[in-house]
Amino acid sequence: MAFFTQHSGLDWGVVGVFALVYVGMFLGGLPTVQLNRAGVALLGAIAVIGLGAVTVEEAARAVDLPTILLLFSFMVVAAQMRLGGFYTATVHWLGARSWSPMLLLGGLLGLAAALSAVFSNDVICLAMTPVVARLCLRRGWPPVPYLVGLACAANIGSAATLIGNPQNMLIGAVLKLSFAEHLRQAWPPVVLSLGLLWLCLWGVMRHDLAAASAPVPPPTSAPTPAADADEPPFDRGQTLKGLLVAGAVLVAFLGTNGSHEVVALVAAGVLLLSRRLHSSHVMGFVDWELLVLFMGLFVVNHAFERTGLAAQAVAALAAHGVVLGETGPLFAAGLLLSNVVSNVPAVMLLLPHLHGQDPAVAGLTLALVSTFAGNLLLVGSIANLIVADLAAQQGIRIDWRSHARIGVPVTVLSLGVVAAWLRWGV
């Protein structure tokens, strides 16, 4: 009873808002109202400010500005590469090789993983999915294993760096991690997991792929691929500019542990200063809703932390021998929460409680587990949903069953690799 009386009505009001926001994270929105995750997070932030739980000034301070700047900057870099036609050109080049279906699948997995490590998994899935779908349909190959493999490879590859996905950017910024050290520790489990993904695709879909071992025209009942009009033409100059800037950023990140957000922001400024690409066109590809989601969750989580309930829950777990900062409990919590509320909110919930452990190990654990866990279910990652939605526009249906046939074994095996690496490799 004392537990309830020691908290004010305002605290419980914040708890109610917090719970409603994370129900929205789980459901992807709220029933009966037209809100997605970003809208739910924004209204949650407005609610805790309106309740008086935090002031406007406190809300502003609660937002981790380096993370927001890093996210924005790499969205601009990714937009430059997309408008230059780089992503589609690389897939077309790969598709022009006279390779077997399984060899081409391996090439696509490697390409998606490598690009995601630099330009973010969501962006790569958004750019590559239509091209891969049309490539498969034109060759008469079953597209589902390629597209599910694309999503899984993008998720796995993005874990290799601290810029490969939004949650890794947050982890790196908050824990002040070394970019080079994370890459050194993350690439072995990433490469092994990509190999296991290829084997899972071969095992689960081998009959379909064997039937497509020779390119044949698609049957009359097959969906007709949509036109390529939405693909930006390849622009050598803009692509070279983007690659040079991205390369310079990576060199700076590998060589320094300083203010990475400043380096990325300057890089974005260089790309926005263009004679050919209007800034409004480039910034039209910035995912503003994701930035709003981050800022809203920062404010809601800050208000919840101020109630003291989170600290009490963590202390209660520690009293029973479950220390959240240790690798085992963090692994379990990251896996569970990433599949309940999605990986970005899960990381936000866990980061304030990573005490008593080397930040590099905690960051590596959280980055790998939260990212790999996104492959388990179709709704577990935004990248998965992007692939499914764009595939549907090409007449290809990817439902939760077809995704789970590949996603479940891949997730189990890849997380096994992570567990072994954390136990014996780090």
DSSP string, 263-276: HHHHHHHHHHS-SS
Q: For the chain, how long is the longest CA-to-CA vector?
A: 72
Cα distance between residue 119 and residue 87, in whole Å = 10
Give the span between the Cα atoms of 423 and 354, in whole angstroms: 18
The length of the chain is 426
Task: Return the pLDDT at 290.
Answer: 87
Q: What does the pLDDT read at residue 416? A: 95
**Which parts of the chain have pLDDT scores under 70?**
1-7, 205, 207-231, 355-356, 426
Predicted pLDDT of residue 420: 94
Dist. CA 128–CA 131, nearest whole Å: 5
pLDDT computed for residue 369 by the predictor? 95
Question: What's the pLDDT score for residue 73?
Answer: 93
> What ranges do the domains of the chain cover?
91-231+321-426
Give the Cα separation of 109 and 198 in Å (integer): 8
pLDDT at 268: 93
Separation of alpha carbons 194 and 117, rounded Å: 13
What pLDDT score was predicted for residue 3?
46
Q: What is the CA radius of gyration of the chain?
A: 22
Residue 331 three-state SS: helix
What pLDDT is recorded for position 367? 95
Cα–Cα dist 17/346, whole Å: 17
What is the rounded CA–CA span in Å between residue 178 and residue 339? 27
Q: How far apart are CA 359 and CA 100, in angstroms?
A: 44
∠ CA 293-294-299, rounded to 5°: 100
pTM: 0.86
Cβ neighbors of 53 (< 8 A, separation 6 or more) are: 10, 13, 14, 303, 306
Cβ–Cβ < 8 Å for 208, 145: yes
